[in-house]
Structure 1
Amino acid sequence: MTSTRVSALLLDLDGTLVDSEPLHRRGYELFFAAKDWDVPDLDMFTGRRALDVFATEPGPWTGLDPQAVLDEVLAHVPDEDPAPVLGARELVLAARSTRTPLAIVTSAGPPWVERSLTSLGLGLDSVDLVVTALDVVAGKPDPEGFALACERLGADPTAAVAAEDSPAGIRAARAAGVRRVMGIATTHGADALLAAGAAEVHADLRPLAPLLGRVSRRP
């Protein structure tokens, strides 16, 4: 057995740091209503880049330009700041105080990251690294984003802790070698998150801060 501290904290954004999924879902609903299209199961979008969904999943958008479809969706998303998930600001500050490398790994773009952090009363300088949809070729559930975060932070993924609210995100972190992926049950039930590979499931982020700086044992 060897002892190790948490090598990095890897946080999803939407549904994990901020409870923004209701805003995004409302945008999709308004978009589909404007198109007079049936509303699909919106869970297919959770945790994934919308461009990937529009490009690969069958639907009324098939054959259309994915970027043009996404632009229309974004025009329908309510222009509101997202609400913080309980414990989000405290977790980021705990990472800073324990000198735990911290990355946001998200399917969103840079402007939404900055706006979301602002809603927490934080700035971009509160995190060490941001990996967005623009930084990867393949989005979640592909592990590229989490692997890139660990590489840039110089962190051992097997000693990292990740937090995700979607099955796609959990699968991505696990595939990148992160063993301790915390499911945050803001948008999906515990059963779905555990089935995707979450080590634990919590209602919010408050249980995560005590993990930072702690020495744990692993094979």
Structure 2
Amino acid sequence: MTLLLLKVNRLSAVFWDVDGTLADTEMDGHRPAFNLAFQELDLPFVWDEALYNRLLAIPGGLRRVKLHAETCGVHLSQNQLDQVRDRKRVHYLERVRQGHVNLRPGVKRLLQELNRAGVQQWIVTSSGLASVMALLEQIQKQIPSFDGVVTSDDVASGKPAPDGYRLALERSGANSAASLAIEDSAAGLSAARAAGLRCLLTPSLWDADALRESGDEAAAVLNHLGDPGQPATVLSGASCQEGAVTLKYLESLLSVPDR
């Protein structure tokens, strides 16, 4: 019995979301990139921070564009949506290369600690591969390499569907009971839980739904992962004595009963 408990409590894999979890990509990355694409394509949309904040409740960038256009009485053809996607991607990649997108607190530190401990680390995101690779190229000197990447290009349905997490579990060979997801959104939390994963939530400032829905679903909720001089605040779940999420803290979450 004791041996089994030790095996369950040893962390096998961590699956990282990207946008809002790994890095602050939304407000200074994706949002201005969309605005530049709209301008180039003569579309009558400008997404300020307040509006984009509300639109982030809609998972998926193109779905966000399509639904927002419809509320404005504008029907976009599939060709127009494809053009938005392509031009937005160009501008987003350029903003990443210019250094507008930064890692969230504690991410670099935790990535390095898990890498030293031999824990598998995968990316599972609803973003496209090109956007993810651009970010990884920009930050690759700061962080260890990931063991694998699952993007929207790999699955039929993005978050809140669990497809991405299920594929990552299959490819990694990791045991879901010995693995964790790190997310920032309500959609990501739902996707991870539907795939049978416990989830540590570090909500984005703009995702109020994540905080509302996390109480019965997340293993723990913190404002960020914590760094020296920038301690994390626990909003729900087990206390984080060191003010930073560590391997030891993550392994303690594996023992949190499913609710």
TM class by shorter chain equals 0.7 to 0.9
What is the aligned length?
A: 218
Q: How many Å separate the matches in 2 of 1:162 and 1:94?
A: 16
The 8 Å contact of residues 194 and 201 in structure 1, kept in 2 or not, is answered as: no
Matched, 1:201 2:221: yes
* Paired residues for 1:162-181 under 5 Å: 162-179=181-198, 181=199
Deviations 1:156-189 (A, max 9, x none): 223311111121111111111112x111123435
Q: How many Å separate the matches in 2 of 1:88 and 1:210?
A: 12
Question: 54-63 vs 148-157, which deviates more?
Answer: 54-63
Deviations 1:117-174 (A, max 9, x none): 3443448961111111211111111100011111111112233111111211111111
Q: How many Å separate the matches in 2 of 1:44 and 1:35?
A: 17
* Paired residues for 1:1-219 under 5 Å: 2-3=4-5, 4=8, 5-22=10-27, 23-32=29-38, 34-37=42-45, 39=47, 41-42=51-52, 43-45=54-56, 48-54=59-65, 59=70, 60-65=74-79, 66-77=81-92, 79=95, 80-81=98-99, 82-122=101-141, 126-179=145-198, 181-189=199-207, 192-196=210-214, 197-206=217-226, 207-211=244-248, 214=251, 216-217=254-255
Q: How many Å separate the matches in 1 of 2:63 and 2:196?
A: 23
Deviations 1:46-105 (A, max 9, x none): 683324445677623543433223123334546233111111111211121111111011
Q: How many Å separate the matches in 2 of 1:159 and 1:57?
A: 40
TM score, norm. by length of structure 2: 0.70
Bigger-Rg structure (1/2): 2
Question: 52-61 vs 26-35, which deviates more?
Answer: 52-61
The 8 Å contact of residues 170 and 193 in structure 1, kept in 2 or not, is answered as: no
Higher relative contact order (CA 8 A, sep 6+): 1
Deviations 1:175-216 (A, max 9, x none): 11112x111123435663351533322222233333378465
Q: How many Å separate the matches in 1 of 2:136 and 2:146?
A: 10
Question: 52-61 vs 133-142, which deviates more?
Answer: 52-61
Q: Which runs of 5+ in 2 are unaligned?
A: 227-243
Distance change >3 Å, CA 26–CA 198, structure 1 → 2: farther
Distance change >3 Å, CA 111–CA 70, structure 1 → 2: closer
Question: 47-56 vs 22-31, which deviates more?
Answer: 47-56
1:16 Cα deviation from its structure 2 partner: 1.0
Aligned residue for 2:238? none
The one-letter code matched in structure 1 to 2:23 is V
1:39 Cα deviation from its structure 2 partner: 4.4
Higher strand share: 1
Structure 1: 4+ residue segments shifted above 6 A: 55-58
The alignment yields a C-alpha RMSD, in angstroms, of 3.1
Q: How many Å separate the matches in 1 of 2:110 and 2:218?
A: 19
The one-letter code matched in structure 2 to 1:205 is L
TM score, norm. by length of structure 1: 0.81
The one-letter code matched in structure 2 to 1:27 is A
